[in-house]
Amino acid sequence: MRETLERFFLGDRVTTAVVVLLVVFGTLMVRSATFGTRYAALGERQLLYAGIALAVFALASLIPYSIWFEYGYLLYAGSLAALLAVLVAGRTIAGSRSWLYLGPIGFQPSELAKAAAALACATVIRDLPDKGLEGRQVALLWALIALPMTLTLLQPDFGTSTTFLPIAAAVLYFARFPLARLLKWGGLFLVGILLLFALGWFTFLKPYQKDRILTFLDPAHDPRGAGYQVAQARIAVGSGELWGKGLYSGTQNRMNFLPAPHTDFIFGVVGEETGFMGSVAVLGAFLVLLGRFLSTLRLARDPEGRFLVLAVFALLLYHLLVNVGMVLGLLPTTGIPLPFLSYGGSFLISTSFLVGLAGNVRSRRYLS
């Protein structure tokens, strides 16, 4: 009886609670970050997005997740079509052609493609005869992921395209390779990345990308440009001290010192206005979510569900690592938003959908 209630009204209670808290808090933060600026309307719009996102979350939590696999390939094909369409007819914002408009409603097909790619991979796993991944299957899934990732890179939206990588990593982690071998490969991969980076420095990296890396290594490198953002974000977080300056009272945020406060640097607003306590609480909420996913890995009743949870875990972890790491000055500046908190409808909805699915996998663990 309790399980039935959970299934129909709550999904996984802990996941639901955390998601609702984060969405509400995020909407508040976006409003504070846009209050009194020319972006003030975005705060209102985020309220609408939050409503849609919670509805989508409810849908993903309640409908038996196996149903999605029936449409896994179709969704995937649809997302590819949307990615192609955006390359042809997309709207260019901030230098990337990443927005597709259907009448007045705009969305980012890359966000849809991310969810679709994860779903498609899970569907493939479901359809495998022995439901296990060996090298050949890994290659197939990677190809599935590489396709939308490449299309996203063509927009060009480097930041978003890298968010396909955690799904690819989940595939590899999910395959039947021993941990030791994976760690060895991981190490080699890191070395390879460094070599590629060294090569890229002299060939394909754009000046602004080099700038960001230089600034990360030495914030004094360009105090007026990229270094300015990094320094101001750090000042915002640090000046929040233990309890924060209070909602709407962050001077770094409200007086335009913090760059992109409602999108990439929203965690700076959290740090400044809610202090150490608020920041730790937000990170704690994410930690609860991640821990929930990890324990679901053991509980999931089928491999495709388990993979889905792993992929969502990887995505969430990647966003947290890169975004919070950037705001705290631990990683170079990249345009990766913070799940549930950053402004943006497509990302909020796709994240809610995926997290809802992961919760769904847990809540259906006893059903067969």
Partner 1 sequence: MMDRTDHPDFEAKVAFLKFATAALFVLFGVRLFYLQVMQGATYRTLAENNYTRTIVMRSPRGIITDRNGRLLCRNRISFSLVLDTAKEGSLEKTIAAMNRILGLSMTEAEVKAALRRSPVPSLAVLARDVPPDWLQKVETHPDELKMLRVETELRRDYPSGPLASHAVGYVGLLSEEEAAALQVRDPDPFIEVGKAGVEKTANAVLMGENGRRTAQVNALGREVEDPRLRLPGVGVQKEPVPGKAVRLNLDLELQRILTEALGEESGAAVFMNPSTGEILAWVSLPGFDPNLFSHTVSARDWQALAEDPRHPLLNRPIQGSYPAGSTFKPFVALVGLEEGILTPGTTFYCPGGWDFGGHTFHCWAKGGHGGVDLLTAIQNSCNVFFYRAGDRVGIDRLAKWGALFGLGSRTGVDLPGEGSGILPSPAWKLSRNMGPWYPGETLPVSIGQGYLTVTPLQLLSFYATIATGGKRYQPRILSGEPRLLSSVEVSPSTLEVIREGLERVVSGGTGKACHIPGLTVCAKTGTAQVVEASAGKDTKLLDKAIRDHAWFAGFAPRENPQVAFVVLVEHGGHGGDLGAKIARAGLEYLFFGKKPGEAEEPSAGPAPLEARGRAPSPSEG
Residue tagged 């709550």 (tokens): 10
Binding-site size for partner 1 (CB under 8 A) equals 56
Q: Which stretch binds partner 1 (CB under 8 A): 90-98, 207-215, 291-299, 340-348?
A: 291-299
Helix intervals (H) in 135-204: 135-153, 158-162, 165-174, 179-202
111 residue type, one letter: E
Binding-site string for partner 1 from residue 327 to residue 356, where x marks contact by CB under 8 A and - marks none:
-xxx--------------------------
Closest Cα partner for 339 from 44, 33, 53, 40?
Answer: 53
Q: What are phi and psi of 106, to 5 degrees?
A: -110, 145
DSSP SS3 for 368: coil
Q: Which of 23, 53, 75, 320 binds partner 1 (CB under 8 A)?
A: 320
DSSP SS3 for 351: helix
Q: Which of 7, 31, 212, 306 binds partner 1 (CB under 8 A)?
A: 306
Q: Which stretch binds partner 1 (CB under 8 A): 105-113, 161-169, 285-293, 355-363?
A: 285-293
CA of residue 208 relative to chain centroid, distance: 23
Q: Which stretch binds partner 1 (CB under 8 A): 106-114, 149-157, 188-196, 272-280?
A: 272-280
* Using rule CB under 8 A, residue 187 touches partner 1: no
**Smaller CB distance to partner 1: residue 146 or 235?**
235
In order, the DSSP letters of 53-122 are: HHHHHHHHHHS-THHHHHTHHHHHHHHHHHHHHHHHHPEEETTEEEEEEETTEEE-HHHHHHHHHHHHHH
**Smaller CB distance to partner 1: residue 114 or 292?**
292
Binding-site string for partner 1 from residue 146 to residue 185, where x marks contact by CB under 8 A and - marks none:
---------------------------x--xxxxx-xx--
Q: What is the DSSP secondary structure assignment for residue 272, as one 8-state letter? A: H
- Residue 43 and residue 291: Cα distance in Å, rounded? 30
Residues 228-257 that bind partner 1 (CB under 8 A): 228, 232, 234-242, 248-249, 251-252, 254-257
Residues that bind partner 1 (CB under 8 A): 36, 130-133, 173, 176-180, 182-183, 224, 228, 232, 234-242, 248-249, 251-252, 254-257, 271, 275-276, 279-280, 283, 287, 290-291, 294, 297-298, 303, 306, 313, 317, 320-321, 324-325, 328-330
